[in-house]
Structure 1
Amino acid sequence: MKWLQQLIMLWLATMILTGCWNRAELPEKAFVLGAAIDQIKPDKIKLAVQIYKPGQKAGAQGGKQAEPYVNIETKSESVFDAVRDITLHLGRKAQWSHIRVIVIDDETAGKTPLLSLLDEFYRDHETRMSTKVVISKGNASKYLEIKPLIEQTVTHQMKRMQEIGLRESGKVPAVSLLQLAQALKSQVPDIILPYAIERKEGVILPGAAMIKDGKMIGTLTGNQTENILMLTNQFKHGALRLPCERSDNNKKPKVEAVETHNTRTKITPVLNPDKLKVNVKVLIIGNISELKCSRLDKREDEIHFQQRLKEEMEKQLMETIRFTQEQQIDVIGLGNTLYRNHTKVWKEWKETWRERYADADFEIEVTADITHTLTTVGKPVSAK
């Protein structure tokens, strides 16, 4: 009977084991590393994809390394049909589970709602929602041709530029497919996306594209992007520039720098039937990373330096907010905050929110806390 029990247990075990019912061999797949979308006609798009090229080895002459990827372009009325045409070039089915970034040219982003353009990627079960989205200046497909400076592919480089740029410099947003969908399906469908331009040395992300109601309406400078990230609690580490106090009106003031290692922002709307008021409180904690003109020999000098930083940041933040008010674009998420915390009021204000936001009174209060000068003397190293 013991052998019968063992046989039954073995049979039961086989019932719960899984099998490869829909297996696909690796030689049948083309792993997509990045994609670029350009609308070449009102009813036609161009899809460029960067495909991983396996098995690359050093060449016989001089040990030159071949490119680990190949770029393919297809054209169609729909993104999905253009995706299926990739197999006509490679004889392999596109595999989207390793895609790093999707690039969209600024002209297309200004004419076509982004969620409609990216619909295929949201429906495809292989595409990761962590895939980053970038808006490019000019033709998007040409960015896949740019040689990377340090990474193996430019698509991976653009992904890292967003992630590390946000974490270490605070000058570029990092937005995934999931975050984009969440923003554009919210009560106020506004967001900023990384804006790529091509320079002689390669691709850089010097600012951000403003997305309003799902379409691009303009761009932000690097400094404006930095301020928006600070207002939305995404800015952590970076360098804040502080102009020296003018001693001669005919000369451009030198600039000192503060390294931040923590910032916190709290935005509180003050409800008023006639006019919206908004209190913004920002805490900046950092160290002095570069001195050009200031001397911090006494405690009073440190207090004065912190006051200068406070006033400069309040000025910069207010200028950026006023710019968004002129554009009637709520990229700081104020409307969504009202929806979550004051739903009844939001229902009354939603239809006229753009105008209310543009007319709102903002009060900004910055607290600057300089914890260290990073040296034993509180003056420029060049000073005697």
Structure 2
Amino acid sequence: MRKVTVFLLISTFLLSGCWDQRLYKELSVISVIGIEGHIGDIKSYFAYPSSNSDPTKYIVLEGTGKTLRETRIDANKKTEQTMDNAELTTLLVNEESAQKDLYALLDVYYRSAQSPMNAKVVITKGSPKKFLEIKETSSKEIGEYYYDLITAFEDTTIYH
């Protein structure tokens, strides 16, 4: 009986593996999301790199729906890969949308186990889509660009 117990105990260590593994080659990794509208009528914009070899070139997808989950599902239908916001760095929220109920808009991202809790929230004047359609070439990926911009602003001002 003791040999069987030892065998089962050792075999459990050998059988364990990465059961929740997600391969980046099968995902569109979203780093910036733009939100405008209110619950019931929302538009979201999702930016992700268009190629693995050059992350500075990216695609912006638009999704519409009554909730933020519906907008993500709608945008996900427009891409060949599954969208993943595990590396979300910045949330751009329209000023009018933020005035009504900002927490209701952010709830879906901060309750998800896959979303990072350190994403920066930016309130934009006008549509966040124009902030995602930057035509200048940058040496950084768009999410990293906005994250570094916000962090530098925080470091040089009283807003910590």
Query: What is the TM-score when the length of structure 2 is the normalising length?
Result: 0.83
Residue in structure 2 matching 1:107, options 96, 100, 106: 96
Aligned to 2:62: 73
Matched, 1:35 2:23: no
Letter of the 2:117 partner, please give it: M
Letter of the 2:150 partner, please give it: Q
Residue in structure 2 matching 1:139, options 110, 127, 133: 127
How far apart, CA to CA, are the structure 2 residues paired with 1:148 and 1:122? Answer: 31
Q: Alpha-carbon deviations, 1:197-223, whole Å to 9, x = none?
A: xxxxxxxxxxxxxxxxxxxxxxxxxxx
Residue in structure 1 matching 2:116, options 121, 125, 128: 128
More strand as a share of residues: 1
**Structure-2 change in CA distance of 1:55 and 1:122 (3 Å):** closer
Aligned to 1:183: none
User: Does the aligned pair in 1 maintain the 2:39–2:66 contact within 8 Å?
Assistant: no
Letter of the 1:73 partner, please give it: E
Matched, 1:15 2:18: no
Aligned to 1:91: 80
How far apart, CA to CA, are the structure 1 residues paired with 2:24 and 2:137? Answer: 29
User: Does the aligned pair in 1 maintain the 2:32–2:89 contact within 8 Å?
Assistant: yes
- Kindly state the Cα deviation for residue 122 of structure 1 after the two structures are TM-superposed: 1.7
- 4+ runs of 1 displaced by more than 6 Å? none
SS in structure 2 at match of 1:118: helix
How far apart, CA to CA, are the structure 1 residues paired with 2:93 and 2:154? Answer: 20
**Structure-2 change in CA distance of 1:92 and 1:164 (3 Å):** same
How far apart, CA to CA, are the structure 1 residues paired with 2:24 and 2:127? Answer: 32
- Kindly state the Cα deviation for residue 125 of structure 1 after the two structures are TM-superposed: 1.1
How far apart, CA to CA, are the structure 2 residues paired with 1:92 and 1:144? Answer: 20
Aligned to 2:53: 56
How far apart, CA to CA, are the structure 1 residues paired with 2:7 and 2:33? Answer: 48
- Is the radius of gyration larger for structure 1 or structure 2? 1
Aligned to 2:71: 82
- Kindly state the Cα deviation for residue 33 of structure 1 after the two structures are TM-superposed: 1.1
Higher relative contact order (CA 8 A, sep 6+): 2
Aligned to 2:141: 153
- Kindly state the Cα deviation for residue 93 of structure 1 after the two structures are TM-superposed: 1.7
Percent identity among equivalent residues?
20
Structure 2 stretches of 5 or more lacking a match? none
Letter of the 1:31 partner, please give it: V
- Kindly state the Cα deviation for residue 135 of structure 1 after the two structures are TM-superposed: 0.4
How far apart, CA to CA, are the structure 1 residues paired with 2:66 and 2:60? Answer: 20
How far apart, CA to CA, are the structure 2 residues paired with 1:47 and 1:16? Answer: 43
CA-atom RMSD in angstroms? 2.6
What are the equivalent positions in structure 2 for 1:1-384 lying under 5 Å apart? 11-17=8-14, 18-39=16-37, 43-56=40-53, 67-110=56-99, 112-147=100-135, 150-167=138-155, 169-170=156-157, 226=158, 229=159, 234=160
User: Does the aligned pair in 2 maintain the 1:148–1:157 contact within 8 Å?
Assistant: no
How far apart, CA to CA, are the structure 1 residues paired with 2:93 and 2:139? Answer: 21
How far apart, CA to CA, are the structure 1 residues paired with 2:76 and 2:132? Answer: 19
SS in structure 1 at match of 2:45: strand
Letter of the 1:94 partner, please give it: M
How far apart, CA to CA, are the structure 1 residues paired with 2:110 and 2:95? Answer: 21
SS in structure 2 at match of 1:90: coil
How far apart, CA to CA, are the structure 2 residues paired with 1:138 and 1:105? Answer: 6
- Kindly state the Cα deviation for residue 50 of structure 1 after the two structures are TM-superposed: 0.4
The count of aligned residue pairs is 158
